[in-house]
Structures are given as structure tokens and as C-alpha cells.
Chain A
Amino acid sequence: MKFLDEYRDGELAQQFAREIHRITTKPWNIMEICGGQTHAIVKFGIDELLPKKITLIHGPGCPVCVTPLEMIDKALEIAARPNVIFASFGDMLRVPGSTTDLLSVKASGGDVRIVYSPLDAVKLAEQNPAKEIVFFGVGFETTAPATALAIYQAAQKKLRNFSMLISHVLVPPAMEALLSSPNCRVQGFLAAGHVCAVMGYEEYFSIAKKYRVPIVVTGFEPLDILQGVLMTVQQLESGRAEVENQYSRAVRREGNQPAQDLIQEVFRVVPRKWRGVGEIPQSGLGLGDKYAEFDAEKKFGVAHHHVEESADCQSGLVLQGQIKPHECPAFGAKCTPEHPLGATMVSSEGACAAYYRYRRMPDLIGAK
């Protein structure tokens, strides 16, 4: 298929791999930020083509995975109420809360619906004036403009029966949090291409400089990732720490200005808890004062719920790149996609799900 096959060409992949082998002299740890990249790496076996000296560390860029447990519990509570239609991206439905998940709430009679766009939830609100429509707004900068647009439209249409449970998160503060940690092993980043398509990559220059770390904005197809790795290794081997753009077919330095304007209009930057990681200052988006009436937490009085996370699930360490999924004792035993302990096992971008789905066998995991 055009625009796809050319980025999955086996021969070109081998050429990139050979070049990476040729220039690599030292061991390097490179983190791909985005869960979509992690899945491509594991699905296509990209890491198997790399020299043993290069370790890919899987990053925290899975919005489903980092949504805090208490937010899931709030979603479950709201979704179970009569007269509520709870709309969500499909990914969130299997994520375990403290006691249950949205699929089970649906089976118990809760009106939980999968939508493909937050705007579909606005439509639901117009079509069902007697019901309360709540949308679960999660994601990184990638989905934030669509969420913002839904809120903006709902305000224009003066919809009183529409609100959002918001758990939006931001990438650069998470990168800084990782780099500031004393356990940090990351020496170079593949930045998430889709996030940069919206936000551009101005924000990364100060991070690259402050922490002396190369950052390469990278796409999601096998050749994108291999080229991103090559560019990062070139920097590392030559002692540079710059921001570069591999994904130039989609990303401009300044990003998408109308999308950023929309985010600015509707949201404000807030502190945000990340599941398994803890609170990171200035790492989330919440509704601005002008749009406070659309805040489902306030509307349904769930703002003050706090929950402790289970100790069995080590997804926090996985999300910070400190362990690989199969190094968690629960992996594949107490924790499977059918009976997950954490979100990383069920999200389509979760690292544990990727390892379980494509590499469950010991010899495949041992391959790298």
C-alpha cells in the first residue's frame, strides 16, 4: 500500500541496520518515548536487527498506561450511574481499575460506548438531551486538540449535558522527570512523531542542551524507527546532543499552530499523576476556568477520590524504562491480557501487551 509499504521495505531496513552496525562502537541506551513506536519495534522485530550494544528502552508514551488508577475508578463510578452515557476510546475499556473495568460496567448495564473521536461524543450529547454524556479525555498532545475542539464546540452549542473526565498528559515534562531521576539510563531519545506534528519540537532544544542528550523526532514505521536510531547513534558516537527531525514528512519545527491555539484556548497546564510513576509537576492539561462547567469531576462530585496502586504491578518501572516487561515476576503468570494487573498489559500501546502478544516465548524474549 502506498505510503506504507515503502516504509516497511525489508532490504532498506537491512541497509539501515548495516549502517548502524558499522558506526556503533560503544554501548548506548536509547529510549523510544511512544508506545506506538514500542509496538512497531516488537511487532516488526526491529530491535533484532540492531547491534547488541544498542538497547532500546521503552518509554512512558502510552496514554492509556499512564492514566492514574484513581482516574479509572472515577470513570467507572460515573459510567455506572443511571442516565449517563459514558463515551471513550476503545483502548480504555479493558484497563483495570481498583475492582473492575469499563467492559464489566457495560455488562452490568452501564451505557458505555466506544467512539472514534471526541466530536462523536458531542453528537451523542445533541442526540440525547435527556442524558448526561461524559467523554473520557485521555492522551498526549496528539489527541489534545481533538478533545479541545469537542469542548469548544460543546460551549458554542451551549450543551449543558456534556462533560469530560480529563487526564491529558504532556511529553516534555515526563522526559525531564526521567532525565532528573538518579536511576536514569537513557542516553538518547526518539521523540514521538505524532506529538511533534502537533506541538513542533522547539520545546526539546532546552532539554537536549540541559541534559546533554540527543533527541530525534521519529515516525512510527520500521524504516522511520531505524533511521531515528541511526541519527541518534550518529550523534552519540560523535558526542553531539542536538534536536533533529527524522519525521520531516509530518513534522515542522513550529508544529500545527491552529491546533496549539485550540489547546491554549481550552486547557491550562496542571500537575498530573502518572500511573505507576507518581505526580509530575506541570505535566498535564486540565480545563481552563472559562470551560470549568464541562469538568465531569466537579459535575459528578468525584474530584477528591484518591486510591493507592497495587504493589504487584510493576508497570511504573516498565514505564520508566527501568525493567523490561518480562522482567516483572507477574508477567504472563499473574498478569495476562485476559486478567491484567496494570494498563500496560491491555493497552494497544502498552509495552507489556507488546511483549505478551509478539514475544511470549522465552527464546524470542532472549533474542534481545
Chain B
Amino acid sequence: MSAQKPIEFSGACPIPISQYPQVLMAHGGGGRLMHQLIGKMFLAAFHNPLLDTQHDAAVAELTGKKIAFTTDSYVVRPMFFPGGDIGSMAVHGTVNDLAMAGARPLYLSSAFIIEEGLPMETLWKIVCSMRDAAKKCGVQIITGDTKVVDKGKGDGVFINTAGIGVIEHEQKIAPQNVRAGDAILVSGDVGRHGMAIMAVREGLEFESKIESDSAPVHEAVLKLLKAGIEIHCLRDLTRGGLTSALNEIAEAANRTLLVDEKLIPVREDVQAACEILGLDPFQVACEGRFAAFIAANDSERALKILRANPGGIGACVIGKVSEERSADVFLKSAIGARRILDMASGEQLPRIC
């Protein structure tokens, strides 16, 4: 990679034509190309102190109250999958982004882009699923928008939700607050959502169905906060999975992270599906999992709280933040050697053999 000069405002496209004249699927894959797109185009154009924190949700102060604000779009195929659907995911995903800023989620917006011809019944199922998920999360959907596009110009339905939450504590939760010695926790087994989707898409059949881990995580986070756990940073493990989340934090915090392959929980069926398809489970998306950077003294207590929460039984410590400041993530391999845990380039592509 050639060294990139900081972007100055100019009329020219910051991603030179010579590299990628068109948007590729990989630019949305959660890997390095997506980060380059966001960094060089969106951050450069919109840059302001709140956006520049590059957090899952922005934290702003409005008349003395601290609020978190975020948005996310949902384009998942198939729309219904084992363990969830696009509707519940559109609620959980945005609720979780707010939770990553340590906020109590309150209100959501919901915008539908619907393709002409979508059966009403399908839409109703999705809407009901959103309603139920919102109720379960204790949030209200208070505004929305509906657009219909020509047949062939959409893919069933795309949903965007934005969310607002309120921050009721004094802790500063952001990548920049990660400290040397912090314990790195994950809230459960990784890679399940992505493999559930992949199994349906590719018609893979296993003895038992792999179910998505799609779930809200805000209650677990609020419990950690209530117990006074010193949380330095939180990040959900969505696109790009654990590796993207850890690399993003390492980069934003300029800290070296050390994790141990043997400690990272991956369910056996997920591991098997990944082996068959040649994918790395650490790069596969979750929809109900997060990484937490916790002050070392508090890690045992935090673990107890996470494990007592529904779906949190698999929570564990996977590594720690090192004294080094190299913005890299290192993994101790199963046989004890050390290597980089790198972010994928674009989407993971299944290999030949």
C-alpha cells in the first residue's frame, strides 16, 4: 500500500479512478476496501469531531443530556433465516450500535425501500417481526418512511433504521480509551450469523441447523455499567467479524492487541461449515455478539455478569491489550506460534479446494 497523504478538500474523487472506477461488492464487505472507502470518501467529506471518533454510535450533548445517535441499513438475503429475519435484525442491529456507545436505546426510525411485487404478506411478517423485536428491546419506532422502487431495482425490501439512546453514566467508552493491560472479552461464540446465512444461501445441510445469533445486547451492557465495571471500549462483531472489530479498535486506539486462538469460542457446527467452505470463522459476521475492553481488575466480574445474561453463557476472555503501540492485532496460534490477525480485504470468497 502506498502511503496516503491526508485528504485535503478538493473537487477530485479521493479514491483515484486508476484503483477502482466502480463500486465493488467488496466495498461493502467489512474489510479493508470498505474501510478505505469510508476513510477516504465519507470521513474526508463529512469530517467533524463527533464523526471522527468512528464509534458505532456518535455521542452528542443536547441541552445537558448526553445522547447517542446511529443508523444502519439492512439488505440481508435471504430475508428469513434460521434464528431471525431482516425485520428483527433491523431492530437488533441499531439497538446494539447504541449499546456499544453505552447508551440506553430509546427511539428508532424505520425507512423501507420496497421492490414492486413484494407479497404484502411477506412485508407484514417483517413488520410484525420488527414490532416484536422493538417491544422486547424496550424501544419505540417513532418515525419512518416508505418508498417503492420498480421491479428489478431492489431486492424484496431494504430497511434503514436510525436510533437514539440516552447515556446515563459518566464512563467514557470509545476506542481512544483502550489502555495497556485491558482484558479483551467476547460476549459469546463467534461467526454464527454469517454461517447461518451462508448455509441457507448455499443449500448446505448439517445435522442440526445453524441458527443466527441475532439478538439485542444492550441489557448485558447496561448491567455491566450498573455494576460499575470499568468499560474502556465496546464494539459489535458485525460485518468482518471479530478480526475487523479488533483491527478497527487497534487502529483507532493505536494499541497492540494480543489474542489467543484457543480461547476464542467457535461452535463446532460453525467451525465445520467454515472448514468446508474455506472461510475463517474469525472473519464471519455475528449479529448478537460484541467485544469488550475491560480494565483488567474488573474482567472476572464482567465475565460473571455477561454469562448470567440470556445467550451470554459462552462469554470469555480472549486476550489483552499489550504495552506495545503498533496498531496491530496478533494471534497466538493453536500450536503456539504468533501471527497477524488481519482484516479481510473485501468479502470472504470460498476457495477452490
Contacts and interface: CB of A to CB of B under 8 A. Distances in A.
Interface of A: 1, 4, 8-10, 13-14, 36, 42-46, 48-49, 63-64, 89-94, 103-104, 106-108, 114, 116, 138-140, 142-143, 194, 222, 332-334, 336-339, 346-349, 356-361, 364
23 contacts: A1-B272, A4-B271, A8-B334, A9-B335, A10-B334, A44-B334, A44-B335, A45-B333, A48-B337, A64-B352, A89-B351, A89-B352, A103-B346, A106-B24, A108-B22, A114-B349, A116-B202, A142-B353, A194-B353, A338-B33, A348-B352, A349-B352, A364-B339
B340 A359 contact: yes
Contact of B275 (A4, A46, A92, A104): A4
B208 interface: no
Contacts of A332: 1
A244 B350 CA distance: 31
A63 B353 contact: yes
A222 B202 CA distance: 29
Interface in B66-99: none
Given A103-B24, A336-B1, A358-B342, 11 more contacts: A8-B335, A14-B336, A42-B339, A45-B333, A63-B352, A63-B353, A89-B351, A104-B22, A338-B346, A359-B339, A364-B339
B350 A114 contact: yes
6 closest A-B pairs by beta carbon, nearest first, are A45-B337, A90-B349, A337-B345, A348-B351, A358-B339, A90-B350
Contacts of B138: none
Nearest to B32: A338
Contact of A103 (B25, B32, B262, B271): B25
Range, interface on chain B: 35 or more
B296 interface: no
B301 to A, nearest CB: 30
Contact of A349 (B19, B262, B351): B351
Contact of A46 (B335, B342, B352): B335
Contacts of B228: none
B111 interface: no
B13 interface: no
A95 B33 CA distance: 16
B173 to A, nearest CB: 30
Contacts of A63: 352-353
A42 B335 CA distance: 12
Contacts of B338: 45, 364
A139 B32 contact: no
Contacts of B342: 356-358, 360
Nearest to A345: B345
B266 to A, nearest CB: 9
A49 B339 CA distance: 13
A13 B335 contact: yes
Contact of B36 (A91, A338, A361): A338
B24 A107 contact: yes
B328 A338 contact: no
A90 B350 CA distance: 5
A338 B345 contact: yes
B19 to A, nearest CB: 6
A116 B277 contact: yes
Nearest to A194: B353
B337 A44 contact: yes
A45 B353 contact: no
Contacts of A64: 352
B340 A103 contact: no
Q: Which of A42, A45, A194 has the most CB of B within 10 A?
A: A45
B278 interface: yes
A14 B351 CA distance: 30
Contacts of B278: 348
B25 A91 contact: no
Interface string B272-285: 10010110000000
Contacts of B353: 36, 63, 139-140, 142-143, 194
Contacts of B268: 1
Contact of B32 (A142, A222, A333, A337): A337
Contacts of B19: 339
B149 to A, nearest CB: 18
